[in-house]
Each structure stands twice: as C-alpha cells, then as structure tokens.
Structure 1
Amino acid sequence: MRIELETFTVNKRFPLTISRGTTAQTTNLWIKLEHDRIVGWGEASPFSLANSRQSTETLQQALQQIIPQLEAYTPWQRQQIETLLHNTQLPSAAKAAVDMALHDWFGKCVGLPLWQIWGLNCSRIVPTSVTIGINSPAGAQTRVRDWLQFADVRVIKIKLGNPIGITADRAMFLAVKEAATTQDIFVDANGGWNLEDAVEMCNWLADAGVKYIEQPLAQGAEEQLAELKKRSPLPIFVDESCHTSADIPQLARCVDGINIKLMKAGGLTEAIRMVHTARAYGLQVMFGCYSDSALANTAAAQLAPLADYLDLDSHMNLIDDPFSGAILNKGRVIPNHKPGLGVERSAA
C-alpha cells in the first residue's frame, strides 16, 4: 500500500481554556492510505497530558519513520500492522491515524459505513455536549449564548478546576446555568481539584442537578479516587487517568465511567476494546475528543451508538475545518450512510 502524510491547521471559533491552559489553534496530520485504488483517511491531532505530550512535530516524525515499514503490508494484514505499531511504540495519536485509515479503507472496500458493518443502531446515539471553557461568569454566559445561536445544543459541558479556586468555579457554574435554561449540564474539572475540594464540589454540584463529574482529581492521584467515590453523591468518570483498556481493571472499583478518546486510545480498534472492557466491569462509557476535525470526530461517531455520553464537539468549534462527515441532528452527531468513515473534503 502507498501512504501519504499532510499537515493542516485549524482555528477555533471560541478558544478553549481548561485547568491546564488555553488552545486557539492546532496543526493536525492527515494520513492517506491507498491500496487497489481505494484510499482510506485518518487523522492525528496533538494533545498534552501530565506525563504525555504528543506534539505535531513528534507525531509527524513518528509517522514518517514508520510509513516505509507500513507500505510493505496490505490493509488486510491488520494483525501484523497492529503488532508493528505496538513494537515500535508509535505515539497513540499517530497510531490512531493509521488505524482510522485502515478502517476507512475497509469500509470503502466493502461499500458500507463502519457503523453498519458493526451492526450498530444510530437511533441510540445520545446528544453531544458542547464545551464551555474556564472563563469569568460574564464571559461564560456570552459563550453559552454564542453556542446556542450557532447550533442546536442539548447538553453543555462546563470546564471547571479554575486555578483561582472553587469559589470561581461555583460562580462560573451558576452563570452558565442561568444562561442555559433548558440544557443538561455536565462538569469536567480536568484534574483541577485536590481531594477535599473535589468532595465539596461533588456534593455542591449534585445539589445543583449535575449528573456526573469528569476527572475531578489530577492524573497521578488515582489512589485517592476510591476515597472520593465513597464521599461523592455523583458518578465519577475518568479521562486523563484512563488511556487504554489496560488501565480499566485497576480503576473499575473506584470510578463509574471512562472517557474514550481516539487519540489517547490509539484508534478505533482499541476504542472498541475499551468499550467491551468497561462494560465487563459495569462501567459507563463516554466518547470525547481533543482538537479533532470532522475527520476524527466522524470516526468516533461511528461508535457513538455504544456510548452513554458524547462529547464530540471540537469540529463544531472550527472555523476552517477541511473535512465534512457526521451531521448534527437534534443535538446528536450522526454518521452518514457513505462507505467507510463517510468523510469528504469540505467545499472551499
């Protein structure tokens, strides 16, 4: 097979601030995998966690190094390719791009969308949240109104964990709730709280009608999750603390759900493993994203019928997304009936 790699830069309509910083622009990677005149597409987007920074440059270099070895295979040799990617310790976002392209190629080869190949029911897809980053109360209200004017929003996720402290978190939350009168509200602290603040905020947010709390404690503080679960009336989801299916067994007793992201997991293959592993432990499942375009989010949407919650909004926040695929219908990100991922280049 023949593989090409190209970079593209995307800009956010609304810059996003979380507990670790602000993002307004990213440069992502587009991989094109051709075999038998069929081309599969994949995307790698950069992200940073406490112990992992996958920059655009790192991802590009890793893919350029592995492409000559990959080109010796065909897309049908998935097991050998997965072994190669594992043995070369390819960064997870780079692995996700290759895996995504292989799935896209396969769907196009058989002429079916991935969700149909997997036998999934798109009527089960729940509304996606849209994200309100850390802001002043007035700024947060403005951002809510911007989103409500721009899209059919049914769920809002608020980023808390303000470095100023939980007093600022409360003020911002109340401001968002005042502006979002009919939307469900979820909360993601991105590891911005210590244990005592997390306990206090979980109780306060439960009284405010929030359904769950995502990543209340920092990555690396997983030993405190069991204590938090005992003292929290809210279900606890982990994101930064859970990368792949191998992380789930040790987390299962102290959390209620996991957030799966293709870039963090390493692609659709591992995302499916994570879903099944989580379900075996009785956990709920969410699909999320980083600064992904419609290419990666449409890939995630192929698995959306398996999720309890969705946070696939990053492509909706781009002013220059080069791709189109899944559509927003009644607040739900719905994949189309085109083969493979169902992604095309956006009209100029």
Structure 2
Amino acid sequence: MQIEAEIFTVNKRFPLTISRGTTAQTKNVWVRIVHDDIEGWGEASPFSVGSHPQSTELIKDSLQQITPSLEAFSPLQRQQIEGIFTETQIPSAVKAALDVAMHDWLGKRVGLPLWQIWGLDRNAIVPTSVTIGINSPEGARTRTRDWLEFMDVRVLKVKLGSPDGIEADRKMLMAVREEAPTQDLYIDANGGWSLEDAIEMCSWLADLGVKYVEQPLPRGKEKSLAELKTRSPLPIFVDESCFTSSDIPQLANLVDGINIKLMKSGGLTEAIRMVHTARACGLQVMFGCYSDSTLLNTAAAQLAPLADYLDLDSHLNLIDDPFTGAFVQEGRVLPNNLPGLGVQRSAFAA
C-alpha cells in the first residue's frame, strides 16, 4: 500500500484554556493509504501528556520512518502491521492515523460504514458535551452563550483546575450554571487539583448536580485516587492517567471510568480493546478528543454507541475544518451512512 501524508492547520473559533495552557491553533497530519485503487484516510493531531509530547514534527518524522516497512502490506494485514507498530514503538498518534486509515479503507472496500460493520446501534449514541475552557466568570458566561446559540447543547464540560485556585473554579462554574440552568454538567480538572482540593470540590460539585469529575489529580498521583474515590460522592474518571488497555486493570479499583482518545490509544483497534477491558473491570467509558478535526471525531463517532459519555466537540470549534463527516442532531454527533468513516473534503479544503 502507498502511504501519503499532508500537514494542515486548523484554527479554533475560541481558544481553549485548560490547567496546562491555552491552544488556539494546531497543525495536524492527514494520512492517506492507497491500495487496489481505494483510498483510506486517517489523522494525527499533536498532544502533550507528561514528559513525552507528540508534536507535529515528531508525528511527521515517525510516519516517514515507518512507511518503508509498511508498503509491502495490504490494509487487510492488520495483525502483521500491528506487530510492526509494536516492534518499532512508533508514537501513538502515528499508529492512530494509520489504524484509522486502514479501517476507512476496509469500510470503503466492502461498501459499509464502520458502525454497521461492527453491528452497532446508532440510536444508542448519547449527546456530546461541549467544552468551556478556564476563563473569568464573565468570559465563561459569554462562551456558554456562544455554544447555546451555535447548537442544541445538552451537556457542558467545564474545565477547572485554574492556577488561581478552587475559589476561581467555583466562581467560573457558577457563572456557567447561571447561563445554562438546565444542561447537564461534566467537570474536567486536567490534573489541576491537589488531593485536598479534589475532595473539597467533589463534595461541592455534587450539590450542584454535576455528573462526574474527570482527571482531578495529576498523572503520576494515581495512588491518591483510592482515597478520593472513597470520599467523593461523584464518579471519578481518568484521562491522562490512562492510555491503553494495559493501564486499565491497575486503575479498576481506583476510579469509576476512563476517557478513551484515539491519539492516546493508537487508533480504533486499541480503542475497542479498551472498551471491552473497561467493561470487564466494571468501569464506565467515555470518548474524548484533542484538537481533532471532523475526520478524527467521525472515526470516534463510529464507536460512540459503546460509550456512556461523549466529548467529541473539538471540530465544532474550528473555523476552517477541511473535512465533513459526522453530523449533529439533538446534541449528538452521529456518523453518516457513507462507507468507511464517511468523511469527505469540505468547502474549506484547499
């Protein structure tokens, strides 16, 4: 199979601030594989967790290095290809782009969308949350109004863990709640709290009707999750603490759920493993995203019927998304009926 890659830039309508910084623009990598005159598409978006960030440059260089080892294979030989991924230890974002592209190719080969190939029920997809980044109370209020005017919002995910402390978190969240009194609220601290602050905030958030708290403690502080779980009235999910299925068993008694992202997992193949591993360990599942375009969020939407919660909103905040695919209906991101991912170029594409 032939492998081609192209860097494209996406710009956020509203910059997103979390506990680790602010993002307004990213350079993602569009990956195309061609075999038997069928083209499969994938995407890699840069992200940073811990001490090993996966930058656009690292993704591009790693993709160039692995390409010669894959050209002799067909997209149908995924088991052998996965063995090469393991041997070469390529970054998870590169693995994800290639894995998604091979799935897209397969769907196009048989003429079916992936969700149908897997026998999933599109009606089981829950509404996606849309994200309010760390901001001043007035800024958060304005951003909430913007989302409510943009689409039928059923759920808001609010980023807390402000460097100004939990009092700033409280003021910001109350401003959001005043603007959106009926929407469900999810909280993501992105590892921005201490154990003491997390215990205090979880009790306070429960009184506001928040559904769960995601990654309250920093990656590397997983042992403290045991105490938090016993003292929190809210379910605890982890994101940065969980990359692949191998991370799940040791987290099973510490949390209530995991956030699966294709860039962390290395693609749809491992995401499916993570779902089944989590279920076997009695955990709930959500799917999330980084600065992903419609291409990657449409890939995640193919598996969305398996999720308890969804946070697939990054493409909705782009002003120049080069792709179309999944569509929004009643607050839900739904894959379409086209073969494979069902992704096409948009009017913004060059």
Aligned to 2:54: 54
* Aligned structure 1 segments of 4 or more residues deviating by more than 2 angstroms: none
Instruction: Look up the SS of the partner of 1:48 in the other structure.
Output: coil
How far off is 1:182 after superposition? 1.9
Per-residue CA deviations over 1:279-308 (Å, capped at 9, x if unaligned) read 001100000000000000000000000000
Per-residue CA deviations over 1:151-210 (Å, capped at 9, x if unaligned) read 111100000000110000000010000001221111000000000000000000001110
Aligned to 1:299: 299
The 2-side partners of 1:51 and 1:220 are apart by 11
Aligned to 1:177: 177
The 2-side partners of 1:85 and 1:347 are apart by 34
How far off is 1:344 after superposition? 0.2
User: What one-letter code is carried by the residue in structure 1 that aligns with 2:192?
Assistant: G
How far off is 1:150 after superposition? 1.0
The 1-side partners of 2:217 and 2:146 are apart by 30
Structure 1: which 5+ runs fail to align? none
TM-score under structure 2 length normalisation: 0.99
How far off is 1:323 after superposition? 0.3
Aligned-residue CA RMSD (Å): 0.5
Per-residue CA deviations over 1:235-292 (Å, capped at 9, x if unaligned) read 0000000000000000000100000000010000000000000000110000000000
Residue 334 of structure 1 pairs with residue 334 of structure 2: yes
How far off is 1:74 after superposition? 0.8
Aligned to 2:288: 288
How far off is 1:51 after superposition? 2.7
Aligned to 1:191: 191
Per-residue CA deviations over 1:110-160 (Å, capped at 9, x if unaligned) read 000000000000000000000000000000000000111111111000000
How many matched pairs? 348
Aligned to 2:258: 258
User: What one-letter code is carried by the residue in structure 2 that aligns with 1:43?
Assistant: E
Aligned to 2:75: 75
What pairs with 1:1-348 in structure 2 (closer than 5 Å)? Answer: 1-348=1-348
Per-residue CA deviations over 1:303-326 (Å, capped at 9, x if unaligned) read 000000000000000000000000
The 2-side partners of 1:215 and 1:115 are apart by 29
The 2-side partners of 1:86 and 1:263 are apart by 16
How far off is 1:68 after superposition? 1.2
User: What one-letter code is carried by the residue in structure 2 that aligns with 1:253?
Assistant: N
How far off is 1:86 after superposition? 1.2
Instruction: Look up the SS of the partner of 2:190 in the other structure.
Output: coil
User: What one-letter code is carried by the residue in structure 2 that aligns with 1:37?
Assistant: D
User: What one-letter code is carried by the residue in structure 1 that aligns with 2:86?
Assistant: H
User: What one-letter code is carried by the residue in structure 2 that aligns with 1:265?
Assistant: S
Instruction: Look up the SS of the partner of 1:173 in the other structure.
Output: helix
The 1-side partners of 2:94 and 2:316 are apart by 23
TM-score under structure 1 length normalisation: 0.99
The 2-side partners of 1:223 and 1:198 are apart by 14
How far off is 1:52 after superposition? 2.4
Instruction: Look up the SS of the partner of 1:228 in the other structure.
Output: helix
User: What one-letter code is carried by the residue in structure 1 that aligns with 2:213?
Assistant: I
User: What one-letter code is carried by the residue in structure 2 that aligns with 1:344?
Assistant: Q
The 2-side partners of 1:247 and 1:112 are apart by 32
Instruction: Look up the SS of the partner of 2:298 in the other structure.
Output: helix
